[in-house]
């Protein structure tokens, strides 16, 4: 089992050896700053955050011994180091490593945004770039304070006077990759500076298992990592899991697993969601429509629980771990126009595909969905964050096939510019089509 600890003076030689074997910069190896990962007494990985003269701080010297790479050790070290930081943290890396560091909230920056130390590094790197085929040096920064379930302090969770300081959106879904239903909307409001949070009921244990788990112990671990990658790209402030197990599609034996989401009492799930509503104090909550998009049992279960939680959170007579009541202003269901779906069904038939057996696992019956028509009350334009949503989608590589076919690319273009929602609370339909889920909401 991996244990993390501060380096000791006796670790200097092993630190230098791992650095040398990894072929990374051997400078600034002050052992006092290092964190070591140990497994049964063996040092298997190292890392540090080092300060520079211009006041910047750099995540550096992340290295894992060759026989233990791909097992999540670097991730543990990085997360541990970042937990202790309160300001911006920078790093330099080869451009091929950008997707890896994006998973931890880092983003690539241009020269004008770099502290002086990193401008000098890039200036020196440019001298050698002609020798480095297909490679460039990137500077990245993590400057977004992320409040996770584990990091939120007890006083923050229970303080009844905790103020609402900005507009906040909470999305509640069932599995990793479900957040993409409102991914553009989440990224859009995150870019505007609004609070954006996600609750995920399961870790997707029954998802498609690729042949190569890339060093992860399980499909659940892999999908959780993919979700963190996507949410970092979308710019979310926090991701929290409810701890239930993926129930699988209708008729699956996984429906009957005692820890599955569909086996849990609705009131139990609702109280958990309501607790998060009271902690995070969202103005707007979004979840699935009543049939969960395509009748997935977990989608329907989390929809039902979220609707109940929306009411519970604002009920002062309900005690939820001492948390002060909070009544959000609006509840929306992410849905999509059925006209589009009817067109898709016709096109699939024209090209010889069966719309009753759609999707990667051929377990979605599109024909059963075309006549279940939910009204569209809001359309959020997401053209400003299309690149973010595309990159976030790519994080879920174990579940989502590349959009390679002509039909798939056409559908992607049709759905690219906006995301659509049905407004459930307030129940009275708006007088006009909403373009902003927060329209008229004051802080």
- Written as tens digits, the pLDDT of the chain (443 aa) is 899 999 998 999 999 999 888 877 665 567 889 999 999 999 999 999 998 888 899 999 999 999 998 888 999 999 999 988 878 999 998 888 888 898 888 999 998 889 998 988 887 776 655 544 556 788 999 986 443 433 333 333 333 334 556 899 999 999 999 999 999 999 999 999 999 999 999 999 998 777 778 778 899 999 999 999 999 999 999 999 999 999 998 888 999 999 999 999 999 999 999 999 999 999 999 999 999 988 899 999 999 999 999 999 999 999 999 999 999 999 999 998 877 677 777 777 777 778 887 766 676 777 877 778 899 999 999 999 999 999 999 999 888 764 444 444 445 555 678 999 999 999 988 889 999 999 999 87
Candidates 233, 223, 204, 5; CA nearest to 100 is 233
Separation of alpha carbons 353 and 207, rounded Å: 23
Asked if domains 2-142 and 154-337+376-425 share a fold, the reply is: no
Give the phi and the psi of residue 46 in degrees, each rounded to 5.
Answer: -145, 165
Where do the structural domains in the chain lie, given as residue ranges? 2-142, 154-337+376-425
Which three-class secondary structure state does DSSP give residue 334?
strand
CATH classification of 154-337+376-425 is 3.40.50.10320, yes or no? Answer: yes
Place of tokens 């130390």: 117
> Pick from 418, 407, 416: which is nearest to 366 by CA?
407
Residue 115 near residue 89 (C-beta atoms within 8 A): no
* CATH class of the region 2-142: alpha beta
Give 225's contacts (C-beta < 8 A, 6+ positions apart). Answer: 72, 75, 103, 216
- The Cα 378–Cα 334 span in angstroms is 10
What is the phi/psi pair of residue 320, to 5°? -125, 85
CA dihedral 387, 391, 392, 396 (to 10 degrees): 150
């Amino acid at each position: 089992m991996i244990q993390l600890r501060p380096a000791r003076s006796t670790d200097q030689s092993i630190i230098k050896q791992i650095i040398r074997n990894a072929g990374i910069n051997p400078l600034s190896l002050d052992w006092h700053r290092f964190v070591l990962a140990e497994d049964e007494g063996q040092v298997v990985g190292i890392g540090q955050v080092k300060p520079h003269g211009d006041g910047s701080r750099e995540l550096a010297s992340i290295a894992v011994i060759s026989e233990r790479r791909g097992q999540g050790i670097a991730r543990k070290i990085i997360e541990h180091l970042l937990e202790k930081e309160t300001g911006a943290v920078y790093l330099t890396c080869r451009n091929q490593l950008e997707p890896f560091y994006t998973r931890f909230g880092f983003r690539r920056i241009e020269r004008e945004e770099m502290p002086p130390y990193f401008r000098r590094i890039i200036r020196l790197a440019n001298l050698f770039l002609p020798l480095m085929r297909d490679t460039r040096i990137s500077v990245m920064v993590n400057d977004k304070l992320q409040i996770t379930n584990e990091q939120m302090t007890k006083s923050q969770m229970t303080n009844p006077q905790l103020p609402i300081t900005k507009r906040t959106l909470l999305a509640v879904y069932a599995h990793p990759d479900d957040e993409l239903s409102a991914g553009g909307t989440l990224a859009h409001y995150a870019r505007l500076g609004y609070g954006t949070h996600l609750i995920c009921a399961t870790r997707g244990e029954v998802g498609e298992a690729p042949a190569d788990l890339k060093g992860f112990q399980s499909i659940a671990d892999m999908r959780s990592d993919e979700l963190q990658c996507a949410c970092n790209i979308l710019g979310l402030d926090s991701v929290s899991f409810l701890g239930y197990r993926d129930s699988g599609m209708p008729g699956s034996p996984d429906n009957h697993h005692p820890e599955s989401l569909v086996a849990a009492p609705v009131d139990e799930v609702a109280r958990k969601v309501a607790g998060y509503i009271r902690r995070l104090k969202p103005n707007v909550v979004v979840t699935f429509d009543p049939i969960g998009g395509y009748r997935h049992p977990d989608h329907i279960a989390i929809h039902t629980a979220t609707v109940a939680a929306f009411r519970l959170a604002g009920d002062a007579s309900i005690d939820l771990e001492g948390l002060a009541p909070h009544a959000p202003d609006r509840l929306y269901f992410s849905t999509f126009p059925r006209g589009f779906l009817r067109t898709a069904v016709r096109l699939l038939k024209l090209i010889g595909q069966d719309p009753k057996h759609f999707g990667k696992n051929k377990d979605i019956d599109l024909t059963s969905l075309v006549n279940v028509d939910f009204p569209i009350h809001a359309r959020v334009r997401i053209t400003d964050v299309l690149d973010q949503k595309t990159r976030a989608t790519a994080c879920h590589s174990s579940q989502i096939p590349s959009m390679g076919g002509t039909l798939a690319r056409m559908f992607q273009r049709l759905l690219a510019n906006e995301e659509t929602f049905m407004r459930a609370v307030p129940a009275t339909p708006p007088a006009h089509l909403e373009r902003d889920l927060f329209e008229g909401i004051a802080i």
